[in-house]
Structure 1
Amino acid sequence: MSSSTLIPNRVLIVDKRLVPIDFEQFHFIQFSHPRTKQEQSYAIDHQSKTIFELVQCTRSYSSWFINDQHVLPDGSLYIITPINLIFLLLPSLWCHARINFIPLTIIINDSFKQFELDDDFIIEKLRSICDIDNEKNLIKLNEENLIIWLRDRIDRLKNYVEDEEHAFDLVCEYLSDDIVEQCQQELKLHGNIRYDIPIGQKAPSVITTTTTTTITKKKINVECTHYLLKKRGLLQSKDKIKFSTNDHDLSEATITHAKQVLYEHYLNTSQSSALHEFHQIQNKSNCIFAKRARCSNAPHWLDNLSIEDNCERLLPSFILFCAFVKDISIDGYVIEIPHNHLTTTLEDFGQIFKQILRFLSDHDPAKRHCMNVSSSRIGQIGWVFEFDRVTFFITTFTPHYPETHPRYAHGSKNYCHILFQPELSFLRHDLPDDTPHTNWIEPITSRDKIRVAFRQHGREYPIRPTIYYPPSHDMIRPLSNDLEDIIEWWL
């Protein structure tokens, strides 16, 4: 960068002890992140066989001045840090090599071959967490050794961060949910893991993972609108759209349709803003956050339409809700369903509830389709409802519940309500980690205060002795309010 003829387009910070002197040995590669599964930038030094992760630190309204001659508009700071290849191969090992020995070729897919590492080197690196059959060139993940290896990572990190829980959080940013849960059980660590927050987006102006494209709010708008336009048949499958942060990259016809569809969605949301009875529940709730919570509302549920048609009507507003929830402080999305012969019992309501979740899952823009698993899986620990990469805590209120029940609808007799709360909302309100313990005498945390408030009003909700339980069990609570009594709406 010292040459006056060289105009760089990025500013990188590297440790010269870790990178090669000959930069021709340094190659950048696109490979999926072990947790998010999204492609991001990595680099490899073929001389030392070291893999680096490229991370980006962004600040608003910043630029670089180069040699007092050039201005670099991208004021981001790119940092290259080493990453252990075990993290990159662990998703494949966890998926394919937990039970039986398998050939190494199954683990090393075409994408990983970009790193151009020889098999002997990879096997030697995996030896710390895998059982190796050298004669047949087979490997099998040793889960006990994996936990020991992760424990060692955490022990190393905790000397440089606040505490052990913080170190655990950092390691978990490179692990899938299943592995995180296994670690929590084996290591007795909980941390503050937020599954709905993408890597690097825990706070403004922090290090973020670099990807091939920069996703802005406008781009999310366009992608969301494109999905809706295709759904409504306004775009042909052969139409090609180049998404960009600049609307000029779109055809005028597409922009016109996009504005029309977005306006329709806004109009639907505005017309449904005065829900019949949910505000009554919200204002009378014993939850200390309920009264000031901001909720987006689904279009009115029409009795003369089928469940699927009603879901079709609310889908656009739900997509928009998920697209903006990371940027705008919105606490929930509410669906209000008329209480009639179709919801005579909680079990009847549960079947409608299941159809709604399944419809949303089938139309997930992220194509993760969380409901496309076995029924038994939904009723187990680890499953969570997710849409467009946003995870939700779902609560229901219906006229079935008596005044002494924590799901009491406070006099709402004509409607059943489904409240989708993004887990991100709990982080915004700084809600403390879940715990089976409560300070009933002198409540200090907001969680303690909420539990005490419900008890004082005669609506105490049961608290499990553990924080590990299936979320599906609490989506529709039984009339008995007994933890052993479960409404299996997913069956």
Structure 2
Amino acid sequence: MSSSIVTPDRVLIVDKRLVPIDGEQFHFIQLQHPRTKQEQSYAIDQQTKTVFELIQSTRSHSSWFINDQHVLPDGSLYIITPVNIIFLLLPSLWSHARLNSIPLTKIINDSFKQLQLDNDFILEKLQSICDIDSKTNLIKLNNEKLFLWIRDRIDRLKKHVEDEEHAFDLVCEYLSDDIIEQCQQELKLHGNVRYDVPIGQKTSSTITTTTTVLCTLYLLEKRSSSSHANDKVNLSTNDQNVSKTVVDHAKQILFEHHLNASQSSSFHEFHRIQNKSDCIFAKRARCWNAPHWLDNISIEDNCERLLPSFILFCAFVKETSIDGYVIEIPHNDLTTTLEDFGQVFKQILRFLSDHDPAKRHCMSVSPKRIGEKGWVFEFDRITFFLTTFTPHYPETHPRYAHGSKKYCHILFQPELSFLRHNLPDDTPETNWTQPITSRDKIRVAFREQGREYSIRPTIYYPPSHDMIRPLSNDLDDVIEWWL
């Protein structure tokens, strides 16, 4: 088996029914994953023209003992599974061939040419989702064919998994956000679907507390050392002075911790809000949960507990594609009214501001300034859009917590997350009868459920006014939590 991508001396499990015995016809290449756009290893069997995805299963502190002769330090297990090339071509088709007919050469980029598949074979595959001019070989994506093809993928998977939502979830691991959104509308798929790191890119679910603490301490120590005259370390965790080894290690910890945290019981309360939200992006948003809030210690002490994880979240949020950080606060005597909750909210933001590693200290301005246009919450040079959900809101309110009675939630959304999902610019205008943009569709969805958003006549307003919405949902009624 020849390859310039996969390191030799690894254990690879291969189904003999899928690949030829002659390993020379089976080689590895790297292509962008259709959902994450990250480089991933694939294999091609030139004889059958079958493309496979390489999946790595990792266990910590493990090795392989082969034939009583060899010990392989890498205890990972590599598996190959077939993948339909339509998934690999779909991002280019969606970007370039939705409105106009284009030549096949515009779809086949240089990296895809590594598969060495002839044009006739590719055109034959694309007939399932495209209109093709046989004379000119011009192709155009046919939406009706595409969604029928995706529907067929889901129906096939339904025979082997729990339900349709699970089947849709698996298919979505290979689709971009905008295609998923169209699928939900065209195929009437509105289940509680969540999308995680694609299977082939998941890391081990095992993580040690010691490793997390060491990584966090490294980041904290990195800042404290900046006071030394000869130390050239920058203040932000987004700088380039962190070694690649440390960054890769920390990113792995971030993913592993996210996967573990998403299974915790405390996270399920916010999952309920996500899964029942009328926002088309909420169900597939990937959120990082703060440490469990303790009733028997002070607000400041709880903030001390969550600070390291918030720093780690901000340090690598650009590369890990996580959409938000959630703080879950028990609903008790401290949050009896929205105004009471506002004071807890203010204490949390002030604590984070006081410990901002970039030393911007956005809360260290006059209260009047926080309530004005132009102010935004910022931490480690990352600006955030803040949203809150509490049991105070009725079912007719857009901030309704969907039955979550025990907790108040604060959602920190990095503004770069909105760029990642390619949201259109904010606008006071809404196409109610024929919603076109995702923003239109979100507003229409909330209205149809009886939870219509109050939309300002301008896009220039103080962000602090929307962080805790009043029970009246009246734009003139403002909860001044910053005072």
Q: So what's the TM-score if we normalise by structure 2? A: 0.54
CA RMSD after TM alignment: 5.4
Deviations 1:340-387 (A, max 9, x none): 22244xxx36x423x7499626xxxxxxxxxxxxxxxxxxxxxxx8xx
- SS in structure 2 at match of 1:352: coil
Distance 1:108 1:219, change over 3 A: farther
Matched with 1:342 is 369
Matched with 2:135 is 135
In structure 2, C-alpha distance between the alignment counterparts of 1:115 and 1:87, rounded to whole Å: 14
Match among 382, 404, 409 for residue 360 of structure 1: 382
Distance 1:200 1:19, change over 3 A: closer
Matched with 1:243 is 245
In structure 2, C-alpha distance between the alignment counterparts of 1:225 and 1:246, rounded to whole Å: 18
Matched with 2:121 is 121
Answer yes or no: is the 8 Å Cα contact 1:273–1:296 preserved in 2: no
Distance 1:111 1:468, change over 3 A: farther
Alignment of 1:57-456 (within 5 A): 57-195=57-195, 197=197, 199=199, 243=245, 273=304, 284-285=334-335, 301=353, 312-313=358-359, 340-344=367-371, 348=372, 351-353=374-376, 356=378, 360=382, 394-396=386-388, 419-420=411-412
In structure 2, C-alpha distance between the alignment counterparts of 1:467 and 1:226, rounded to whole Å: 50
Structure 1 residue 193 displacement after superposition: 3.7
In structure 2, C-alpha distance between the alignment counterparts of 1:195 and 1:241, rounded to whole Å: 30
Gaps of 5+ in 1: 2-6, 207-215, 248-268, 303-309, 316-334, 362-384, 386-392, 408-416, 423-462
Gaps of 5+ in 2: 2-6, 227-231, 250-299, 307-327, 400-408, 415-445, 457-464, 479-483
Structure 1 residue 204 displacement after superposition: 5.5
Report the count of equivalent residues. Answer: 332
Structure 1 residue 280 displacement after superposition: 10
Structure 1 residue 481 displacement after superposition: 3.7
Matched with 1:434 is none
Structure 1 residue 192 displacement after superposition: 4.1
Which runs of structure 1 show a deviation greater than 6 angstroms over 4 or more consecutive aligned residues? 216-230, 233-237, 244-247, 269-272, 278-283, 295-298, 467-470, 483-487
Distance 1:477 1:144, change over 3 A: farther
Structure 1 residue 113 displacement after superposition: 1.0
Distance 1:97 1:342, change over 3 A: same
Distance 1:236 1:299, change over 3 A: closer
In structure 2, C-alpha distance between the alignment counterparts of 1:166 and 1:68, rounded to whole Å: 42
Answer yes or no: is the 8 Å Cα contact 1:101–1:138 preserved in 2: yes
- SS in structure 1 at match of 2:359: helix
Distance 1:135 1:419, change over 3 A: same
Matched with 1:256 is none
Paired AA for residue 420 in structure 1 = F
Structure 1 residue 190 displacement after superposition: 3.3
In structure 2, C-alpha distance between the alignment counterparts of 1:222 and 1:30, rounded to whole Å: 33
Deviations 1:286-307 (A, max 9, x none): 79xx9xx9x98676647xxxxx
Deviations 1:106-165 (A, max 9, x none): 211111111111111111111110111222221111111110000000111110111111
Deviations 1:34-77 (A, max 9, x none): 11111111000111111000111223333222112222222222
In structure 1, C-alpha distance between the alignment counterparts of 2:88 and 2:382, rounded to whole Å: 31
In structure 1, C-alpha distance between the alignment counterparts of 2:467 and 2:238, rounded to whole Å: 39
Q: So what's the TM-score if we normalise by structure 1? A: 0.53
* Percent identical: 56
In structure 1, C-alpha distance between the alignment counterparts of 2:27 and 2:450, rounded to whole Å: 44
Distance 1:81 1:246, change over 3 A: closer
